[in-house]
Amino acid sequence: MSKNTKAVKRHDGRKADDLREMEAKLGVIPSAKGSAMFKIGKTIAIAAVRGPKKLHPKFLQDPERGKIRCNYNMMAFSGSGNRVRPGPNRRAKEINLVIENALTPAVKLDNYPGCSIDVFINLIQTDAGTRCAAITAASMALADAGFEMKDLVSAVAVGKVNGEVVADLDKPEEDVEDAVDIPIAMMPNEKEITLLQLDGLISQEDLSKAVDLAEVVCDKIYKLQKETIAARYE
């Protein structure tokens, strides 16, 4: 990592508010009710939606509304060389929870009492920002499945690297000493934040700067989501 302090100091030459190259596709898994792929830089997430179906075990059922359940999984070959042990682990469990919480406010779940809507997310390749890519793909998959939604959800990680607030951190940036990683998911039309996590130490001003930056870059992702959905049915 270069530690110089010029205007552009990111290791891959991006500007502070530049995102990595993005790509998205709808309907990648024909057997699922809805599915989507979202790629940002080297991170690729695939999401498939199944359901609504009766939620079991029964004590988890909510008689008033449905429940979104997530299944986040990094594939064995997805990392940087070492085998990632796939399947549920502590980290995946936490990510499942935050993704569920990020998606739930966007979907109108009152129509599906006592049901679960299952979102399966697999990461083929990872280079930081996986939970954000997962949320972005999952929200497109939910829209593709034909669920009524208040809004799409766009997510991006912002953070502070070498003293600069930047958007969309990749793995080398995330690994920098004192780097701060802030995954943010928001509903771009509602202007509502549905996920905000913070890993590291950051001042209050920098945090609000980072959130403002996230709002700007989320709009870029939202634009891509919109284009992707339109392109599927052109």
Partner 1 sequence: MGELFVKEKEIVVPGQTLAEGMDYLPAGGAYRDGENIRSSIMGVLGINGRVLRIIPLKSQYRARPGDMVIAKITEMTNTVWFADIDGYRDGILSLREVPEYVGDGDELCQYYNYGDYVLAKLIQVSRKNMVLTMKGPGLRKLSGGRLVNVNPSKVPRVIGKQGSMIGLIKDKTGCRLIIGQNGLAWIQGAPEHELVAIEAIEMINERGHEQGLTDKVEKFLDEKMKDVVVDDAEEEAHETEKTTKEKKSSKTDSKDDSDEEEQPVRRAVGGKKKSKRSKK
Name the residue nearer to partner 1 (CB basis): 116 or 126: 116
d(CA 30, CA 185): 27
- Distance between CA atoms of 114 and 109, rounded to whole angstroms? 10
Total count of residues recorded for the chain: 234
In terms of CB distance, is 66 or 183 closer to partner 1? Answer: 66
What is the 3-state secondary structure of 164-232?
EEEECCCHHHHCCCCCEEEEEEEECCCCEEEEECCECCCCHHHHHHHHHHHHHHHHHHHHHHHHHHHHH
Q: Is 28 an interacting residue with respect to partner 1 (CB under 8 A)?
A: no
Cα separation, 96 vs 170, whole angstroms: 21
Among 22, 98, 145, 224, binds partner 1 (CB under 8 A): 145
**Residue with smaller CB distance to partner 1, 102 or 128:** 102
Report in angstroms how near the CB of residue 66 gets to partner 1 at its nearest.
7
Please tell me whether residue 38 binds partner 1 under the rule CB under 8 A: no
Q: Check: CB of residue 35 under 8 Å from CB of residue 27.
A: yes
CA distance from start to end of the chain:
44
Q: Which of residues 185-224 bind partner 1 (CB under 8 A)?
A: 187-190
According to CB under 8 A, which one of 152, 195, 210, 217 is a site residue for partner 1? 152
| 66 near partner 1, judged by CB under 8 A | yes
Binding partner 1 by CB under 8 A: which of 1, 108, 175, 178? Answer: 108
Tokens of 206: 């920098």
The answer to whether 148 contacts partner 1 (rule: CB under 8 A) is: yes
Chosen residue from 24, 47, 68, 112 binding partner 1 by CB under 8 A: 112
Classify 101 as helix, strand or coil: helix
Applying CB under 8 A, which residues contact partner 1?
A: 30-31, 33-34, 52-54, 66, 106, 108, 111-115, 143-152, 187-190, 225-226, 229-230, 233-234
